[in-house]
Chain A
């Protein structure tokens, strides 16, 4: 499978070219975010101290080593399950102009419409493959909200980040929806012969 290469931050136009099932590799800057970070932004109403316009958000709480005030080195950086954070999808697109959300395991169907409407995609990464992912992160450039450690807001510079598979595109398609639909039909067949 040939991969498309994208550099982040990016534009809605670029995002609209992607289709569910495409394989993508990413360069540039990506932002690490997790449960407590979302809760602070949306439930506690605190504005994020980083620009999220055109951003690629990675669902992560990295393993790091502190090397100075506000300065961290990577130890092991991988990706967490996305589904827990699905309710923030529309807000991220509408209020902050986020273009891509990347995590593992997929987002439920409620993410499909906001992604279509706001021109966003969901990238599925291989969960658990953190040793490899760590080699693709060149540097931890910035961290905000250190008191939420490790669920801070992180800025990473990445090269050849992937492989990522477009799990949900900005045209209403979701690989995860399709797999679930087929599996549910299959379960009906299986139950009939048990």
Chain B
């Protein structure tokens, strides 16, 4: 009997996704950047956006990375209950794939021990890569999305435990204040991920889920989708502009993810994703068939 080496297939997929995400940014993002370049009216903002578009082209032409920051490897996995590889083995495969991509390309190794600051080697280490898990009933597939997350944008993460009396106004004020404070540091214009509800840790987890959505997608809950729209308008009214040099386009999109929460909680988390919002996905079937996808 021939058994499929599913662990090896997931490892190959992870290795491919990491490098692919770093080199070839998705079409939805390319379109959003081109739209931004059309909309922007400030001199320096236009210069920044035209340089960004030129850079994306140079990365394509030279098959180079869009940005030197290969990030920390973050994956989101949707695992079907009948997918025949246990998540413990999926994790091992993602780790091995990350290491292989780092060594073979080679990619800059960013991972360090958080106290000693010694480099751990191939972009993995204790609890690295980071994996978000979702388990799907009555399904036999696996979706793996790789989101290499740069530090410039990740350093611009903010959490506030608003109180219920702060209401939606409090949420909006905190997001506005966070993005103005962040200024040019997270490489605007990017995607603002907002996580609301749940608990402190879960709100930030949701904010990270939010930045990984394709540009142009909306939250399926119309109340939340309206908040996305309102925040988008308000943030682009702040004048922070491309790379914080002033201008009309401060953010490409705002994505909000929410969870129900305790009656006395109103947590708000902001996670920023830079203009080079790297993202690449593989769908793996139970027989080891792999489809690569950029619309996910």
Interface of A toward B, CB cutoff 8 Å: 1, 21, 23, 36, 60-65, 75-81, 83-84, 104-106, 124, 126-135, 149-150, 163, 165, 167, 175-176, 178-180, 182-184, 186-187, 190-191, 194
Contact = CB atoms under 8 A, between A and B. Distances in A.
Contacts of A180: 180, 183
Given A76-B65, A83-B185, A131-B65, A187 B51 contact: no
Contact of B58 (A106, A126, A135, A163): A135
B259 interface: no
Q: Report the contact-size class of chain B (Cβ under 8 Å from the partner).
A: 35 or more
Contact of A183 (B69, B169, B173, B180): B180
Given A63-B107, A135-B62, A150-B108, A190 B234 contact: yes
Interface string B61-77: 01011111110000000
B47 interface: yes
A105 B119 contact: no
Contacts of B245: 124, 165, 167, 175-176, 179
Nearest to A65: B106
Classify the interface of chain A: helix, strand, loop or mixed: mixed
B106 A131 contact: no
A126 B65 contact: no
Given A130-B65, A130-B66, A163-B51, 11 more contacts: A63-B70, A81-B155, A83-B185, A104-B184, A129-B51, A131-B58, A176-B183, A179-B184, A186-B238, A187-B176, A194-B172
Interface in B113-134: 117, 119
Contact of A124 (B65, B69, B186, B243): B243
B178 to A, nearest CB: 11
A105 B177 contact: no
A76 B152 contact: no
Interface string B183-194: 111110000000
A105 B44 contact: no
Contacts of B82: none
A78 B183 contact: no
Contact of A132 (B47, B54, B185): B54
Interface in B40-56: 43-44, 47-48, 51-52, 54-56
Closest 3 CB pairs of A and B: A78-B68, A131-B59, A105-B185
Given A126-B52, A128-B67, A187-B177, A104 B240 contact: no
Contacts of A60: 68
Contacts of A129: 51-52, 54-55, 67
15 contacts: A63-B106, A76-B64, A104-B184, A124-B243, A126-B52, A130-B55, A130-B67, A132-B58, A182-B239, A183-B239, A186-B237, A186-B239, A187-B176, A187-B177, A190-B234
